[in-house]
Structure 1
Amino acid sequence: MNSQKSNLPSPMTTPDGYMKDPQGRLVPIDTIKPVDLKRDAVVRQIIDDARKLNAEIAAFRKRAFEAVEEFIAESAREYKVKMRGAEGKGNVSLATFDGQYKVQRAVSESISFDERLHAAKELVHQCINDWSDGARPEVQALITGAFEVDKAGNINTGRVLSLRKLDIDDKRWKRAMEAISDSVTVTGSKAYIRVYERDGEGNGYKPISLDVASA
């Protein structure tokens, strides 16, 4: 058996003097137009910079969360309290002594509804049918619109939960609101760090954007 290594390039590498096209075919560089080579170089440079920036933002996010959590724990120790588990993980706002800068840690929860939402919807529709002569049109529109779904078949959780703010004295309505509350399931949560500085004109705070599109 011939034990000599092959000089052929690995399928995962591109040999010198060639570039791969979108179909993965090897194209000799000297046959590629200069403008196409320049475009390739510009895009690759931007992507390289973007990856570096992404890594920097990820490192900043990690440092910021750790700094906030450490400060909360340190502040709690002033009162001889030791933070445990999820304690101290919620929303918090920290500001500089002069109020010029502010850091917010915000936690957004993703929620869904289980099968009890269908019972709530049925009770709500019973109420609407009985109120058809007396309820204000805008209230009816608000209630019926809460259970509409989007093109993907998803229900707007904010609209459904907002129904609980309506003060309606009807036993079926109250049972419906109880069913909505019982049907809520927290499926996940995500924490954000937001940073602000005071507007020079004294009109409150403006965000220091970490978004490329709005920086």
Structure 2
Amino acid sequence: MIEQTTTTPIEAAPVPGGRVELNGQIYWTDAKGALIPAEIVKPTDQLVDEQVRKIMGFAVPLNAQVARFKQHTLNDVADLMAVLAQEYSTKIGGEKGNVTLTSFDGTLQVKVQVQERLTFGPELQAAKALVDEYLTELTEDSGPELRGIVHHAFRTDQSGLVNRAELFRLLRYEIPDERWQSAMRAIKDSIRVDGTKEHVRFYRRADARARWEAVTIDVADA
């Protein structure tokens, strides 16, 4: 029997006040860590601060509850898969652990999708050097689109991560130049699987002929 998970009402969690008392005087701590006397903090700043702390008081425990719900769901699905595997003496679900569970009447659905986290090794720098060498021989008129694609593919974001989708896009180009071919092999060799992340998605519909509608848990999409 799969254990049913339950939720409890969200209660506000204590949030640091951002204020200190020194020698009987109340000070507010600003973003630089400086202590500002309470009487010179603008009322509007005080109001914003109050509301942010009030909202965060509910957001923090809600985040923890969603995390617990996700883990309970994954555990329930894993238990069910184990029971089914024992019953039928075979592995249930996709090759990477993906599985879709649908209610008997076809109106409710739970999907567990396992996504690999990819990183890129030092071979990527060799690939960029080879691509740059190839591009230097192209005229401005002969490869402007390709130059733009390469620029976006190897450009890193604020976290130092390359654009994975644009990088994989380069692999689709059939360019016979030996340096390009070597660069594409280097890109493929640079790919590392740095663990996996499990996503749980929920769907419902009025009847078995209706379209599925997502039941979102993401606050941004609620």
Q: Considering the TM-score relative to the shorter chain, is it more than 0.5?
A: yes
Answer whether contact 2:152 2:163 (CA < 8 A) is retained: no
Please report how far the alpha carbon of residue 101 of structure 1 lies from its aligned counterpart in structure 2 after TM superposition.
2.2
Deviations 1:12-42 (A, max 9, x none): xxxxxxxx771244679xxx9xx9xx99998
2:178 matches 1:178: no
Which ranges of structure 1 fall in alignment gaps of 5 or more residues?
Answer: 1-19
CA distance in 1, matches of 2:21, 2:107: 54
Letter in 2 for 1:22: R
- Shift of the 117–23 alpha-carbon distance from structure 1 to 2, 3 Å rule, reads same
What is the Cα-based RMSD across aligned positions, in Å?
4.0
Answer whether contact 1:111 1:184 (CA < 8 A) is retained: yes
Deviations 1:63-84 (A, max 9, x none): 210122122233333542368x
Answer whether contact 2:123 2:190 (CA < 8 A) is retained: yes
Equivalent residue number for residue 80 of structure 2: 71
TM-score using structure 1 length: 0.65
TM-score using structure 2 length: 0.63
Following superposition of structure 1 onto structure 2, how do residues 131-142 of structure 1 map, counting pairs within 5 Å? 131-132=138-139, 135=142, 137-142=144-149
Among residues 86, 94, 97, which one is paired with 2:104 in the alignment? 97
2:172 matches 1:168: no
Structure index of larger Rg: 1
Equivalent residue number for residue 3 of structure 1: none
2:32 matches 1:23: no
- Shift of the 39–129 alpha-carbon distance from structure 1 to 2, 3 Å rule, reads closer
Paired positions, count = 188
SS of equivalent to 2:84: helix
Equivalent residue number for residue 13 of structure 2: none
Equivalent residue number for residue 121 of structure 2: 114
Aligned-pair identity in percent equals: 34
Please report how far the alpha carbon of residue 121 of structure 1 lies from its aligned counterpart in structure 2 after TM superposition.
0.8
2:122 matches 1:150: no
Please report how far the alpha carbon of residue 108 of structure 1 lies from its aligned counterpart in structure 2 after TM superposition.
3.1
Equivalent residue number for residue 10 of structure 2: none
CA distance in 2, matches of 1:45, 1:150: 33
CA distance in 1, matches of 2:129, 2:55: 54
CA distance in 2, matches of 1:22, 1:163: 53
CA distance in 1, matches of 2:25, 2:163: 51
